[in-house]
């Protein structure tokens, strides 16, 4: 997520890193699906507070039901990409939607690749 956000920031700002710094920079997302996922995450962040408050009115036994029905309609009127349910935790490097470990945000294949090359700190082949 952090790396995706960084890439988004780079694309948006059009920054150019200093030429003397020889660092690998990811200036594009892996694929369009990843881009859409990034958009959804952004929107969900923007509308999070409102959604929370309207839901607090909806999921209520105290307030009158008419009010809750109005709140239902309101929340349905919000943009579709603003709901957090549509976010998919994809692999950060390959954009694989399945087989992604949440702690590393990597798909199983990438994780295995890095772990075998000893590039994952504190990760070891299990043997017992």
Partner 1 sequence: KDKSAASKDSTPEGAAKRQEDGAETPKQQLLDIIGNMKVEVSYRKKLQQLKASESKKQARNKLEGLDSESSVPRGVTEGTQRLNPELVKAASAVASSLPRNKKQTESELLAQLRRHEETTDKQKKGGTINIRNVISEMTVKRQSPEQWGARISGRISLQLDEDGQRARPERSSAQMDSRRSLKVGKRLNIFTKTSTEPEHALKTVSSPTIWDLEFAKQVAAVTAQPPRNGFEEMIQWTKEGILWEFPIDNEVGMEDDAEFHEHIFLDKHLEGFPKEGPIRHFMELVICGLSKNPYLSVKQKVEHIEWFQKYFEEKKELLQEI
Binding site for partner 1 (CB under 8 A): 18, 20-22, 49-50, 53, 56-57, 60, 62-64, 66-67, 70
**In the complex, what is the shortest distance from the CB of residue 63 to partner 1, in angstroms, rounded to a whole number?**
5
Q: Which is nearer to partner 1, 16 or 127 (CB)?
A: 16
What the block records as the tokens of 47 is 């509308």
Min dist. Cβ of residue 41 to partner 1 (A): 19
Residue in 44, 38, 45, 48 with CA at minimum distance from that of residue 90:
38
Distances from the Cα of 66 to the Cα of 33, 44, 55, 58, 69, angstroms? 39, 27, 14, 10, 5
Nearer to partner 1, 47 or 107 (CB): 47
């Amino acid at each position: 997520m952090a790396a995706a956000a960084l890439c988004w920031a780079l694309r948006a700002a059009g920054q150019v890193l200093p030429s003397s710094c020889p660092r690998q920079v990811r200036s594009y997302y892996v694929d369009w699906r990843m881009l859409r996922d990034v958009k959804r995450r952004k929107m969900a962040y923007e509308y999070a507070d409102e959604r929370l408050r309207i839901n607090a009115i909806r999921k209520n036994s105290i307030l009158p039901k008419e009010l809750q029905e109005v709140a239902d309609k309101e929340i349905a009127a919000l943009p579709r990409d603003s709901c957090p349910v549509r976010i998919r935790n994809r692999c950060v490097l390959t954009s694989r939607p399945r087989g992604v470990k949440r702690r590393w945000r990597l798909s199983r294949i990438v994780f295995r690749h890095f772990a075998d090359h000893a590039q994952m700190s504190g990760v070891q082949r299990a043997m017992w």
